[in-house]
Chains A and B, each alone.
Chain A
Amino acid sequence: MNPSRRDAIAALVGWPALASLLSCRRGPERPRYGGEIVGGDLLRGHKLRTGELLARPPVRRERVGTAILGAGISGLSAAWTLARAGDTDFRLYELEDVPGGNARSGRNAVSRYPWGAHYVPVPVDRNPALEALLEEAGAVESRTPDGRPVWAEQVLCADPEERLFFRGLWWEGLYPRAGASGRDLAELARLEREMHRFASLRDARGRRAFAIPRRLSSDDAEWTALDRISMREWLSRNGFTGSRLVWFVEYGCRDDFGSSLDDTSAWAGIHYFASRLPGHATADEPFEEPAPFLTWPEGNGHLVDVLLRSARERIVTGTVVFDVVPRADSVEVRYLDAPRDEVVSVEARHAVVALPHFVAARVLAPWRKEPPPFVAEFQYAPWLVANLTLADRPRERGFPMAWDNVLYDSRGLGYVVATHQSGPSRGPTVLTYYLVFAGEEPRKAREKLLSATWDELSGAAIADLSRAHPDLPGLVTRADVYLWGHAMARPHPGFVWSPGRAAAQQPLGRVRFAHADASAFPLFEEAQDAGVRAAESILKENGTPFLALVALGSGL
């Protein structure tokens, strides 16, 4: 391995060059595997930066009932909702060549695999929109007499779910239990009790303190005040200081938000735990099982495929939407048809902006003229996702391979196993490796990520995992890498209950906003909820009859 590659890898995974050298020494000089950097045409998106497109006249004009900008989960959910109501007068405009956004997936001869989001927790409260979609996805086997879904066994995450590489061995679960003292375990139990208490809190209107989707949470100041401090602050104020516990909680923040304890709002950090507990704990039964996960080999790409059933012919990919002008009773949308290099103008009755707000700020004409103050509040964490195709299972010691496999001393988030749900327990597989840059300034991390070569990025992923699997370098047959420059908005302190974040969701005339980033939580449920709500409010305004899946107007 040449020194510059080694340094680049060390910079990415965040430990000294010597460590990477040691773990790679048995690997080949040049990688023997193939692969590439997948997706994310940066040049296409960066065309927005110059404003040059705004000067180009349209070569054609289109008319459509609803223009949906962005074919991630929120845009696809808006389309799904319209189609369910029989309204097919819509079109989706997507920057990438493939729809799905953060829930995109890929496939090869070995397995399907996720490129980003890879699970949905079973809703702990009734969530009609999510239940309806999951039913279409074949995840609901039957219903109980009171109408609750019975989840199909093969879709629930198969046991064993999680393990942790700690002190040279794999252990079951994510909390580093090996060698934990009685005090450590007592502290963990105290945290769990605290989270169960948060899960059981209800306000005077019966709302949970911490709910999914977030807008259903109580806005009582008693609890929203937690948004003003960081999760690290909350831990130390409450006497949670053990290094194991702090690692465990920070892992949750890194995993769900891509942020460190300092960058995470305490409200968000608590939400991570409390929103997934049923919230019916009592003094007699103080502990409940958290909601199990629903997962598929291709992760949430499975749900993308279900959503696409109603939208596939109405998606226009490779489009750079660069201008959205709200008018009295219509919206003008202009986009660049990138493959043909043509500017097209669309006159739509409604528009659903399912774009992240850092993009929306450059696209919305009124926001370009006068940037709203909330734009600066949105911070986006960059992510690296690598899909490693292996010829065989790697050697390892300790607890057997689980679905989610985490390394304790790592900046990476570990890997999920694509063949875990239904594939064989041996032989070739695909590991999806996630690396975040929690604690780093997003812009710097982004620059580091975007300047690295494929060789360095794939090498970083493999070097990180080689510490737990020494023979991994020789088993990799292909390593594809996805760069997410702005993977998700971070719920930093003050953001979750910020008036600015709420204002970012307010419609501008017939332009509605549906991206999950305005909910403060980069979750499937938030994206779906936002998309369904936007579409239902359009259906309502158009007077189209529909079966409502969400309660409109409750919370922002």
Chain B
Amino acid sequence: MEEGRVRPGPVYLTVLVIATCGLVYELVAGTLASYLLGDSVTQFSLVIGLYLTAMGLGSWLSKFLERGLARRFVDVEIAVALVGGFSAPLLFLAFDSPRWFQPVFFSVVVAIGALVGLEIPLMLRLLKRSVVFKDLVAQVLTFDYLGALAASVLFPLLFVPRLGLVRTSLVFGLLNAAVAFATIRLFRREIGPPGGLLARAAVVTLLLLFGVASADRLTDLAEEGQYADEVLLARSSPYQRIVVTKNRAGFQLFLNGHLQFSSVDEYRYHEALVHPAFGVVPGARRVAVLGGGDGLAVREILKHPGVESITLVDLDPAVTRLAREHPLFVALNRGSLLSPKVKVVNVDAMKWLEEGTDRFDLFFVDFPDPSNFAVGKLYTSRFYALLGRRLAPDGAFAVQSTSPLFARRSFWIIERTIRAAGFATRAYHATVPSFGEWGFVLAAAHPFGVPEALPPGLRYLSTETLASLFAFGPDMQRTDQPVNRLDNQVLVRTYEDEFRRFEP
């Protein structure tokens, strides 16, 4: 081995690594942008364009670096390790403030692109004394493209499913830091005493390791495993665990692990919950929604121009805030909770019913399924009796009543309980692919016919098919059931029993 030369083999390996890292950061950014902002074609296209431009900027800037190229290269690696490695955690945090997400997002993409753009020109210049130029260009670019191949294959198949986005970006940050250490060793003659460089690389490595260790706080690996799709947002309110996941088709809201809606087919659920009741009380002006903090039922209610006010009573301010502020939610509920007609109250619905006196023409009762005693209370005869005191004399209400197919007894317990509280009822059902066959109970103080009228512009309900929702096939027919009361909570016990059959 000649004096003043470096062995190019190990250096090509570092090229492979930095190329993989560079593309992974680009993929992380593109994926996150499409999760949050939707429309993945546009987002990916934008990210790639911006990233490549920033790389060009980095390449152009490389000419201003004259001396101590090896040291500069190590500095660039440390910077990529830091910015690239923390890009996903940073962008996840920025989700919480939609106003800041875009500026943060574009800054991160440009910074990583520019730094990555510096890497190859500097590497070529570092090696030009050791390798014949034509071989050098051929080799470096070969490894660069191989790295890109590795990244594009491993990212969707291995890293995202196994590690999740946050850990993926942190792990690749660590790889960049490893390249920094390797470079210090490979170019030790050019670099000289590496004190400051080593210290910086060590600090960034430690930061990244700390990031990996605390990634559980941001997104829980065990929790992510429960969900089929990427966890976009996970937080705990005093009342529940709120998780939003995202896949190619759309996004989903889970509360305590139970699916609340999928953006793909929620319109079927919410059209079915809301519009039939308006057929019973066509002139409804004052409407209340109990539960349903996602604002999707309110979106449907707002399609009835006669409605003057909507009171949304949902226990958890974290959910209603999400519905008001998060771009994905606002896009889906069309900003329904921002309407001047809507008033949001974050209290326990039973308490709210008990303590208030004003009356409403329509109620929509949209609670989670009765899977525990706390929620079970909201399906008791006492609850419907309290609701009756707040219902206008010719008012009506619709209740989400779990699946008449999977939880047939539970469904008919709810219907029986509403009748026991003194209401006339009509049960109906809808097909919501994410949930399966889903059921509702429509109730009013006086007997009423099957509703016929619907507002225009619906995607699922039509006047031709509406009546068919009120017919039940043999496997969902009414069965004789007891009344769910505070002192027997028979619904929670039955529901648990019925859903246990579907557990693995």
Q: Which residues of A contact B (CB under 8 A)?
A: 153-154, 156-161, 292, 400, 424-427
Q: Known pairs A153-B382, A159-B488, A426-B238. 9 more at Cβ < 8 A?
A: A153-B381, A154-B486, A156-B487, A158-B377, A159-B486, A424-B374, A425-B374, A426-B239, A427-B238
Q: Which residues of B contact A (CB under 8 A)?
A: 238-239, 348, 351, 372-374, 377, 380-382, 385, 485-489
Q: How far is the CB of B265 from chain A (nearest CB, A)?
A: 31
Chain B residues lying within 8 Å of A157, measured Cβ to Cβ, are 487
Q: Say yes or no: A426 contacts B374, CB within 8 Å.
A: yes
Chain B residues lying within 8 Å of A400, measured Cβ to Cβ, are 372-373
Q: Say yes or no: A154 contacts B238, CB within 8 Å.
A: no
A-B contact pairs, 22 of them (CB 8 A): A153-B382, A153-B487, A154-B486, A156-B487, A158-B377, A158-B486, A158-B487, A158-B489, A159-B373, A159-B487, A159-B488, A159-B489, A161-B487, A292-B487, A424-B351, A424-B374, A425-B373, A425-B374, A425-B377, A426-B238, A426-B239, A426-B374
Chain A residues lying within 8 Å of B372, measured Cβ to Cβ, are 400
Task: Report the separation of the CA atoms of residues A159 and B488 in the bound assembly, to the nearest whole angstrom.
Answer: 5
Q: How far is the CB of B356 from chain A (nearest CB, A)?
A: 15
Chain B residues lying within 8 Å of A426, measured Cβ to Cβ, are 238-239, 374
**Closest partner residue, chain A, to B380 (CB atom):** A153
Chain A residues lying within 8 Å of B381, measured Cβ to Cβ, are 153
**Closest partner residue, chain A, to B350 (CB atom):** A422
Task: Report the separation of the CA atoms of residues A154 and B351 in the bound assembly, to the nearest whole angstrom.
Answer: 13
Chain B residues lying within 8 Å of A156, measured Cβ to Cβ, are 485-487
Identify which of B348, B382, B486, B487 contacts A424 (C-beta below 8 A). Answer: B348
Q: How far is the CB of A420 from chain B (nearest CB, A)?
A: 10
Chain B residues lying within 8 Å of A160, measured Cβ to Cβ, are 373, 489
Q: How far is the CB of B158 from chain A (nearest CB, A)?
A: 37
**Closest partner residue, chain A, to B348 (CB atom):** A424
Interface centre among A157, A160, A292, A427 (most CB of B within 10 A): A160
**Closest partner residue, chain A, to B483 (CB atom):** A153
**Closest partner residue, chain B, to A157 (CB atom):** B487
Task: Report the separation of the CA atoms of residues A426 and B377 in the bound assembly, to the nearest whole angstrom.
Answer: 13
A-B contact count (CB 8 A): 39
| B interface SS class | loop
Task: Report the separation of the CA atoms of residues A426 and B487 in the bound assembly, to the nearest whole angstrom.
Answer: 19
Instruction: In the A-B complex, list the 7 residue pairs whose CB atoms are closest, starting with the nearest.
Output: A425-B374, A159-B489, A156-B487, A153-B382, A158-B486, A153-B486, A153-B485
Q: How far is the CB of A153 from chain B (nearest CB, A)?
A: 4
Chain A residues lying within 8 Å of B377, measured Cβ to Cβ, are 158, 425
Chain A residues lying within 8 Å of B238, measured Cβ to Cβ, are 426-427
Q: How far is the CB of A158 from chain B (nearest CB, A)?
A: 4
**Closest partner residue, chain A, to B421 (CB atom):** A153
Chain A residues lying within 8 Å of B373, measured Cβ to Cβ, are 159-160, 400, 425
Interface centre among A159, A160, A161 (most CB of B within 10 A): A159
Chain A residues lying within 8 Å of B351, measured Cβ to Cβ, are 424
Task: Report the separation of the CA atoms of residues A426 and B374 in the bound assembly, to the nearest whole angstrom.
Answer: 9
**Closest partner residue, chain A, to B386 (CB atom):** A154
Q: Say yes or no: A154 contacts B382, CB within 8 Å.
A: yes
Task: Report the separation of the CA atoms of residues A158 and B381 in the bound assembly, to the nearest whole angstrom.
Answer: 12
Q: How far is the CB of A141 from chain B (nearest CB, A)?
A: 9
Task: Report the separation of the CA atoms of residues A426 and B256 in the bound assembly, to the nearest whole angstrom.
Answer: 15
Q: How far is the CB of B257 from chain A (nearest CB, A)?
A: 16
Chain A residues lying within 8 Å of B239, measured Cβ to Cβ, are 426
Task: Report the separation of the CA atoms of residues A153 and B239 in the bound assembly, to the nearest whole angstrom.
Answer: 26
**Closest partner residue, chain A, to B385 (CB atom):** A153
Interface centre among B373, B385, B485, B487 (most CB of A within 10 A): B487
Chain B residues lying within 8 Å of A159, measured Cβ to Cβ, are 373, 485-489
Q: How far is the CB of A470 from chain B (nearest CB, A)?
A: 21
**Closest partner residue, chain A, to B487 (CB atom):** A156
Task: Report the separation of the CA atoms of residues A161 and B373 in the bound assembly, to the nearest whole angstrom.
Answer: 11
Q: How far is the CB of B147 from chain A (nearest CB, A)?
A: 49
Chain A residues lying within 8 Å of B382, measured Cβ to Cβ, are 153-154
Q: How far is the CB of B424 from chain A (nearest CB, A)?
A: 20
Q: How far is the CB of B291 from chain A (nearest CB, A)?
A: 15
Chain B residues lying within 8 Å of A154, measured Cβ to Cβ, are 382, 486
Task: Report the separation of the CA atoms of residues A158 and B484 in the bound assembly, to the nearest whole angstrom.
Answer: 11
Q: How far is the CB of A90 from chain B (nearest CB, A)?
A: 37
Task: Report the separation of the CA atoms of residues A427 and B239 in the bound assembly, to the nearest whole angstrom.
Answer: 9
